[in-house]
Chain A
């Protein structure tokens, strides 16, 4: 296959970037999208040019590191998959592929296609946990959790924190990411003790990071590699409103 790439090149956060064209003549359809970038980088290095910087790690769709906006969609044309799970057989000979980094104020570009997603970590630090110290847990089977609840919690917990939801959303909203965690812990009995503070604090942190608001376009869920449901956003809205109305926190 012959492929024309238009890749976003940006030296660092503080410089301007631009799309640069590259030609690749020997692309196998069995290559993964990232392997195609490996081949590009190999040839760039041999020619004495700077290789393209991009985030990637496990290359099996679970770590959530890879993050390319490919031909107008996060993680490319395939749904339910990450960039590393995308293979060149999804493209045609002669295609032009535009590759950009995630775009959001809360995700500044570090270099080329690599962005900073620490905002997600800070949101989890704001309350995405159950406060239980090591050693203080009761026997695991003392907490009975019906299978349907466990399954629903697992659906939410499957989030890999890649940020495709933010990248896909026209408002760069992080609602799907935040709600997946709020929802997981809200439906599990272990999360009950802190469910109000959790919703309040995580939403406050989400706003502080500069993400947009939810317009319920559903793009996040469609592009989510783990197909996380919009149900969780509704549950978080409920949790948040309930918390605001019922918690003792008069300061906000």
Chain B
């Protein structure tokens, strides 16, 4: 397959303006003749659905949650970047572009990232106008903070609930269009397949989660805004319901999948406490501004701590290893996420981890409290400390926090061109569901920016181009063979899952998949482990289809059945992630191959051979996927080795 990125010609800063002019427009009177399906109502989905409805398109919006407001964008804490330069500290669109490209370890497209930086300023304007209560200075202007190691203060925030407030803004815009009759909302409805006919996306097949009814929805274009696939690891900071099903089933219908192995591990999460653990909770990265990360110097001390014979506060200063400060004197505790995560893992691998499980390191505020006083620390992190205490029962003012890395975000996703269209004409992917803007590693406060950029300011232009090209008549009814066939296939899969009647609950199988992925395709990977993982995943797939146990009926609310469908897809995706990680014989960003590291243990990129997007094409059940390469061209930045020493 030939991948056309469709990046417009011309200087970087003019590409988007040129593209906007080149894209075809739909006559205002004709917009009501077009139907658009939006799957997912997070930042990308809600903003896209609202904006398209405002333009006059008929939108159908779908979410598996009981309300659009619950999409997992709501959980983002830190903030949203924008190149406003309100702080007069040297920020610019180009600097945001540059930081994002570099932060992504040079595995993202220049054109896309520059557009993202350009529209970032419009996002803030839009959100403020909606009534999003961003933090303010006393004079009434917007406040900013520096975030994720950025050297400028360009992060806008609403307490520790920025994602929630941005989502509620987009949700309110969506609600307004529901009231206007331009958006029809389908909650507790899950997309189970994409309908492709004549080489174009024609609609979707869904399951009503309350009644179990399989239904078809036809449209001129389909937008997947379905988030990331971090739950392939079972334990992640994602919501329990986050899944890859919509994207994966679209993939099987012809949408190629970009860079599936690029996953981000966040260093400051609350550690696992037992086998029953269902999810991991993120503690804002800002904690590393004042907390010092350490592990015991000796294995013996670590073991005593694990057994509960010794407490963290018992350990003398010289028995502690502040390993980030030791290894990275310049950046210290503020090294990027991937570096911090990997180092914590190394400590635990050496047997120097703490907590009952041995899978944690300390994040210590004792010095900061001594220096600034408890009041100051409380003002900065009070709510986070409270959250930590709620979950662990320990008071972080008195004893160091325990942290461990956890899967947080997936940079990979459906491959899209500059217009956010996948390789299936009429099918688009927005937000975390696509692969486009973060390369191999996402910077803090950039996920919210991308979701809203795609939904508010990119898709309203680009989808019109496609619609104007095909015309209003190019749509097929839901009783056409293509829909009926897809419905039957979906029903057949459900029947098949219900008829396995094995012995293992689906959740248990999901946990096993998570273990495999975390162990062999997590923070550090190597060829041998990945090959082993591939075999284990294939065996698990057999186990799933022969031994899963789902109680209840398919024609009613059945959460185990929902999960079964998602886990089946995660298993297949897991194998592709392993293939992708095996193929990429280099280390970059979130992808760390142990064979490819500098003598200091840092990621070693291979720009000569791997400066490409790995775009995987489905080849049918049981066949290996076909690798397509989109070569990345860098004209405006110079590729350098990241160094935080």
Contact = CB atoms under 8 A, between A and B. Distances in A.
Do A and B share a direct contact in the complex (Cβ within 8 angstroms)? yes
B574 interface: no
B476 interface: no
Interface stretch (B145-153, B270-278, B627-635): B270-278
A46 B556 contact: no
Nearest to A65: B70
B68 A110 contact: no
Contacts of A153: 131, 133
Given A51-B559, A147-B138, A125 B131 contact: no
Contact of A56 (B67, B172, B240, B551): B240
Contacts of A157: 131-133, 158, 165, 168
B138 to A, nearest CB: 5
Interface string B147-186: 0000000000011010011001001110110110000010
Contacts of A147: 136-138, 140
A58 B128 contact: no
B75 to A, nearest CB: 5
A121 to B, nearest CB: 5
Interface residues of B, number: 83
A2 B86 CA distance: 57
A241 B90 CA distance: 49
Contacts of A137: 122, 125-126, 128-129
B294 interface: no
B51 interface: yes
A111 B176 contact: no
Contacts of B133: 150-151, 153-154, 157, 184, 188
- Secondary structure dominating the interface of A: loop
Nearest to B557: A111
A39 interface: yes
B40 interface: no
Contacts of A55: 66
A49 interface: yes
A96 interface: no
Contacts of A12: 556-557
Contacts of B165: 154, 157
A86 to B, nearest CB: 8
Contacts of B75: 58, 60, 62-63
A101 interface: no
Interface in A223-239: none
Contact of B551 (A28, A29, A50, A150): A50
B390 A121 contact: no
A110 B131 CA distance: 33
B130 A30 contact: no
A87 B195 CA distance: 44
B188 to A, nearest CB: 8
Given A58-B239, A118-B66, A154-B133, A140 B125 contact: yes
Interface in A112-142: 114, 116-118, 120-121, 124-126, 128-141
A95 interface: no
A134 B57 CA distance: 14
Nearest to A136: B129
B129 to A, nearest CB: 4
A116 B176 contact: no
12 contacts: A12-B557, A30-B393, A35-B277, A45-B560, A48-B551, A58-B240, A110-B210, A121-B175, A137-B128, A140-B142, A145-B140, A161-B70
Closest 10 CB pairs of A and B: A144-B140, A137-B129, A129-B172, A137-B125, A153-B133, A150-B136, A154-B133, A134-B51, A140-B128, A45-B505
